[in-house]
Structure 1
């Protein structure tokens, strides 16, 4: 197949990372794959004003930042400026895939010769992607592919029983792995540092501060693609933009991994930590409830650093045998999610989009149902 992905802009976000994985895997299967992207948009006046009021100054524009498509085998075409993508920007293809609510509207306007229209929908709630903006896009004449059952349920709540392909994320066992091990000599936990409010870094940091008062010599390892906005506590070692091999070592060096998101489409770090045999302490965001239901970690209350700190203390104080049992359960859960299986399902979703176009199934869409919540 000739496949075109339409992305808002290339960066180091988790959603773009998943798109890059599928693009490369489809390319390796013999498909002709192209990524078409707008450049990074300029900050709005509201965003600039907010930054200035917080004392952070004017937000500089930098479109030369790294992305998950750097050194990729899949070609990336970037427009000259941020604007809607039109017919002249994309080649004729078998399928064209929107990956963001704005790109869904762009793809819906493309000519049929640009390909059957699919919509890879991974999340909502990020800045610039609020629910009231994204719900109308679910009623566009695009075949939706989504990553989690809770998102599928949300689509059904607003739009009724429209066809959706469910493709859970997975983990790359060539990149993330670890041999069975014992607990660390000093209790060690890890977390992903993100500046977005929805990622709950503030919850993790408060929990770490509380846990440090009850867990002697608690060591913390953090990583992220952003520089911390404030100095981190002295017991936190921070890794800025680690490589995959470094990230694997970080996961495997921890007795527990903290997942503190308030909202999350999926939560890929949960799987990556678990396949590195690290139990996870998670808020009930994304797929955390279903991934932890087998006992590979502890699910904590949302917005509750005290509960998270108690979970940190619980895991750090487990006996060697009990910790290893939890570690084995985490690993056993994660190995059930492979990118090979996920790519099979994603590819099948693209064929469904093609079949629906050929059968005329993309008739004028139903109007989105108004939620009662």
Structure 2
């Protein structure tokens, strides 16, 4: 098939990682795949005037998961939207973000059957135009969603009972413990830092403060794209890693006895699966895929936004004897290994064939 992906801008986000992985696997399978997104921003008249008198560095494509996967991208400079003229004719066109879904809706039939790959309920994003984003879920496109939570939202809010469920997977080479896991002599937890208020980093920070009252030698690892700059508290006893190389992520996850996941909302929440793939038990609020992944055997699901409840669950994990903790770590590994990219890809590709053949028979999250 000829498959055309629409993305907003090059990114190193978890969602972009999933799109890039499917694009590469489709290409490896023999499909003709193109990826088109926005490139250099349009220049205002002030910026153009400034370039006449001052040497300004040229815009360059930033590092993204598309380049990491070795994929070529077609970036349209100076544009605020993608148009039909920017895209090849195709069998399938795939929107990967609410704005790209708007662009897709305006495309003529020769650009492909419309598929909307939904990794979050993006109408709830703080920066989104909620009314416009909501309309994209009502549009006449086939939808592939990555979690049961999204399936439920699309059915409840938009009456969509025709959504295909394709759960995310984890790379067993990139995310795996480098040595057999054992409980740390010094209790260690980790969490993801973010400027996005829906990630509720404040809950994780406060939970760590409470934990430190019980475990005075507590270590806290923080994985973040950049420094908080006031978005949340970064104590001097926290150990941050800002935008570490991909190969260091497994080491960071595996350095923790428990991983805290405190988001209000998530489409999926890849850190859940990544931490488990490194043998790290979870303490998670029920957002994204957490209800599908977390069990009493591999972690703790805490249906509360009270940091003391998160801290209490984490304290129970940190207080386990080494043998009991090892059992929980092994259970986390087993859960992660059940989410295989080849299986997810098979389901994703099957959904694309169904769309191309106009034979879409998905009902209430079937896959």
TM-score (norm 2): 0.87
Q: Is the 8 A contact 2:147 2:267 kept in 1?
A: yes
**What SS does the aligned partner of 1:69 have?**
helix
Question: Per-residue deviation at 1:235?
Answer: 2.2
Question: Per-residue deviation at 1:40?
Answer: 7.4
Correspondence 1:19 to 2:16? no
Corresponding residue for 1:145?
A: 144
Counterpart among 278, 283, 286 of residue 284 in structure 1: 286
**What SS does the aligned partner of 2:66 have?**
coil
Corresponding residue for 1:167?
A: 166
Q: Is the 8 A contact 1:294 1:333 kept in 2?
A: no
Q: Is the 8 A contact 1:262 1:302 kept in 2?
A: no
Correspondence 1:355 to 2:357? yes
Question: Per-residue deviation at 1:64?
Answer: 5.3
Corresponding residue for 1:77?
A: 74
Q: How far apart, CA to CA, are the structure 2 residues paired with 1:313 and 1:240?
A: 26
Q: Is the 8 A contact 1:294 1:329 kept in 2?
A: no
The one-character-per-residue Cα deviations of 1:232-265 (angstroms, maximum 9, x if unpaired) are 2122111111122210001111101111111100
Q: How far apart, CA to CA, are the structure 1 residues paired with 2:125 and 2:190?
A: 23
TM-score (norm 1): 0.86
Counterpart among 312, 315, 318 of residue 317 in structure 2: 315
Change (3 A) 1:40 1:215: farther
Question: Per-residue deviation at 1:135?
Answer: 2.7
Question: Per-residue deviation at 1:73?
Answer: 2.4
Change (3 A) 1:335 1:40: farther
Q: How far apart, CA to CA, are the structure 1 residues paired with 2:75 and 2:126?
A: 22
Corresponding residue for 1:92?
A: 89
Q: In the TM superposition, what are the counterparts of 1:200-239 in structure 2 within 5 Å?
A: 200-230=200-230, 232-239=234-241
The one-character-per-residue Cα deviations of 1:252-292 (angstroms, maximum 9, x if unpaired) are 11101111111100011111111111101111111112211
Q: How far apart, CA to CA, are the structure 1 residues paired with 2:175 and 2:68?
A: 20
Correspondence 1:67 to 2:54? no
- Aligned residue pairs: how many? 341
Question: Per-residue deviation at 1:85?
Answer: 1.3
**What SS does the aligned partner of 1:144 have?**
strand
Q: How far apart, CA to CA, are the structure 1 residues paired with 2:335 and 2:296?
A: 7
Question: Per-residue deviation at 1:128?
Answer: 2.9
The one-character-per-residue Cα deviations of 1:53-109 (angstroms, maximum 9, x if unpaired) are xxxxxxxxx875432223432211111124221110000111110111121121121
Q: Is the 8 A contact 1:118 1:145 kept in 2?
A: yes
The one-character-per-residue Cα deviations of 1:107-165 (angstroms, maximum 9, x if unpaired) are 12111111111100111222333654433212212110110112112212233354211
Correspondence 1:342 to 2:344? yes
Corresponding residue for 1:183?
A: 183
Where structure 1 has 5 or more consecutive residues not aligned to the other structure, the ranges are 43-61, 362-373
Change (3 A) 1:65 1:73: closer
Q: How far apart, CA to CA, are the structure 1 residues paired with 2:144 and 2:274?
A: 22
Change (3 A) 1:69 1:355: same
**What SS does the aligned partner of 2:286 have?**
coil
Corresponding residue for 2:31?
A: 31
Q: How far apart, CA to CA, are the structure 2 residues paired with 1:159 and 1:262?
A: 21
How large is the Cα RMSD of the aligned pairs? 2.1
Q: In the TM superposition, what are the counterparts of 1:105-116 in structure 2 within 5 Å?
A: 105-116=102-113
Change (3 A) 1:319 1:206: same
Change (3 A) 1:305 1:40: farther
**What SS does the aligned partner of 2:65 have?**
coil
Q: How far apart, CA to CA, are the structure 2 residues paired with 1:343 and 1:40?
A: 32
Question: Per-residue deviation at 1:35?
Answer: 0.9
**What SS does the aligned partner of 2:35 have?**
strand
Q: How far apart, CA to CA, are the structure 1 residues paired with 2:41 and 2:263?
A: 25
Correspondence 1:326 to 2:328? yes
Change (3 A) 1:155 1:40: farther
Correspondence 1:126 to 2:128? no
